Amino acid sequence: MKVSLKNHWVVKPAEPTWNGTVSLSECDQTFAVTHVPTIYYYRFCQDCLPSTDNIIKTLRTSLSKALVHFYPLAGRLRWIAGSRLELDCNASGVVFTEAETEAKLDDLGDFSPSPDSNSLFPRVDYTIPIDELPLLFVQLTKFQCSGVALSFAISHAVVDGQSALYFLTEWASLARGEPLGNEPFHDRRLLRAGEPPIASPTFEHLQFNQPPLLLGKSSSEEEKKNETKGSMLKLTKNQVEMLRKKANQGNQGRSYTRYEVVTAHIWRCACKARGHKFEQPTNLCICVNIRKIMQPHLPKSFFGNAIVDVIANGVSGDITSRPLEYAARRVRAAIKIVTSDYANSTIDFLKNQEDLSKYQDIHAFRSKEGPFYGNPNLGVISWISLPLLGLDFGWGKEIHMSPGTHEYDGDCVILPGNEGDGSLTVAIILQAVHVDAFKKFFYEDIEC
């Protein structure tokens, strides 16, 4: 898809904001510290089609107002000793780009991730020194029909998914002429940001160990080179319930959640599609929101990263040959580990590291090297409960939203269906040679 960039602006806070350096928490500085892309598609009726100039004016003006409250996004990161990062709140601003394409929204089909849609996302130039690189990029692309795409790339070193959606929701409210709903809470010291280590970890933290390699391999270099492909797979509400019914056969405890059973299903299908040997070790990385887990709870409007990773592990042969309940039980057991004490132990573990680089996915900043969590492993993130849908900037709700395209084998996100009917969408990246088999198992195994 050919996209022409027409204009770009640096948008700064509409009013003076607090200026100074903010220490980032260990949750901010580990694993992915690059920009996370998302995209929203809007279609207008011909009778209510606003001009592109009016759309841009509304977005830029309201974004400038939003940055007064969410001022960390207008700052810049800075490396300090030990491969750690801090945030310079200097109101340098964010980048807003106007673009257009000769394509039509219908040309995108079911909006599955593909290289064709890459140009609809803001380009982040990681050759720029980190202290000059904006933390938020926005791109509005006009189609040759009554539609636009609004995409974002936001630094994961500053916010997690919940905080990013919180910001977008409040920005949209300001664009509609409504007041700010909740003032963001910016004090990251609630997660001991900037504090020295005071204790040793009290739990084992498998998420920081080297993940399993394919049997017979001494490194993951060959797997990293394999071509990958993205897929968007829909599960109807009925299919989700069928999976829950299967997983709960033989379950002696409370009913498994949608996330637990769908994640277990994805794990089983990936092991099958990849053709693992029975004894192949496999890790499943799970991301857990700790806002309501920490004691005391974090404020609802906490703005930053408040997530920890935890590992469910097993042997591929057991995952694939045993009933779905087996994998679901392992997923639940991993999640159950995450308590306030576990989260603090995670922070203690990282605070005691002299150098954080081996726990950071910073390949886009420094080199093409970095942690590899692909075959035989998997990472499944839940966006099911996030306020993803209904993002209205004054011209109605989106017709579709999705995460951005990427190339990392084993990355998977579970999203609520765009129809709001209880369906779910699984966005997954796998090596291209495994995609067809995965899709086959993904749907066939629901019925059997």
Q: Where a domain ends, among 123, 154, 189? A: 189
Which of 28, 35, 69, 156 does the annotation list as catalytic? 156
C-alpha 124 chain-centroid distance = 16
Whether residues 38 and 182 fall in one domain = yes
pLDDT of residue 448: 74
145 domain residue, yes or no: yes
| Domain-located, residue 184 | yes
Terminal CA-CA length for the chain? 40
Is the domain of 124 the same as that of 213? no
Do residues 32 and 172 both lie within one domain? yes
Q: Does 200 fall in a domain? A: no
- Token pair 């609802």 is found at 300
pLDDT value of position 368: 46
Among 189, 214, 232, where does a domain finish?
Answer: 189
Give yes or no: 156 in active site. Answer: yes
Q: Is residue 146 part of a domain?
A: yes
pLDDT at 393: 96
Of 188, 168, 4, residue with least CA distance to 94: 168
How far apart, in whole angstroms, are the C-alpha atoms of residue 434 and residue 219? 20
Q: How far is it, in rounded angstroms, from Cα 233 to Cα 263?
A: 13
Instruction: State the pLDDT at residue 371.
Output: 64
Asked if residue 414 and residue 376 are part of one domain, the reply reads: yes
Map tokens 């982040």 to a residue.
124
Residue 418, in any domain of the structure? yes
| Pairing assessment for the beta strands 424-431 and 378-382 based on DSSP bridges | unpaired
Which domain does 425 fall in, by range? 205-443
Q: Which two tokens stand for residue 100?
A: 């257009």
Residues 238 and 366 in one domain: yes
pLDDT tens-digit readout, 117-135: 889 999 999 999 999 999 9
- Residue 372: the pLDDT is 76
135, 45: one domain: yes
What pLDDT sits at residue 15?
98
Radius of gyration of the chain (CA): 22
DSSP bridge partners of 413: 381, 427
Q: Are residues 119 and 234 in the same domain?
A: no
How far, in Å, are 70, 86, 157, 346 from residue 300 at the CA level? 15, 23, 19, 22
- CA–CA separation, 345 and 340 (whole Å): 9
Amino acid at 120: L
- The pLDDT, as a whole number, for residue 341 is 97
Among 145, 165, 189, identify where a domain stops: 189
Residue 278: burial class (beta carbons within 10 Å; 0-12, 13-18, 19+): exposed
Number of domain units in the chain: 2
Taken in order 64, 58, 179, 402, the sign of the CA dihedral is: negative
Under-50 pLDDT residues of the chain: 363-368
Whether 346 and 205 have beta carbons less than 8 Å apart is answered as: yes
CATH code, domain carrying 33: 3.30.559.10
Active site residue 392: yes
pTM attached to this predicted model? 0.94
Which helix (H) or strand (E) segment holds residue 186: the answer is: none
Let me know whether 156 and 91 are in one domain: yes
Per DSSP, 446 falls in state H
Does residue 270 sit in the same domain as residue 129? no
246 Cβ contact list (under 8 Å, min separation 6): 261, 323, 324, 325, 446
- With beta carbons less than 8 A apart as the criterion, state whether 385 and 234 touch: no
Q: Is the peptide bond before 376 cis (omega within 30 degrees of 0)?
A: yes
Distance in angstroms (rounded) separating the CA atoms of residues 258 and 256:
7
**249-287 pLDDT, tens per residue?**
977 889 999 999 999 999 999 999 999 999 999 999 999
Instruction: Tell me what pLDDT residue 47 has.
Output: 67
One-letter amino acid at 43 equals R
Could you tell me if residue 233 is inside a domain?
Answer: yes
For residues 248 and 183, membership in a common domain is answered with: no
Query: Looking at 88, 361, 392, 445, which residue is catalytic?
Result: 392
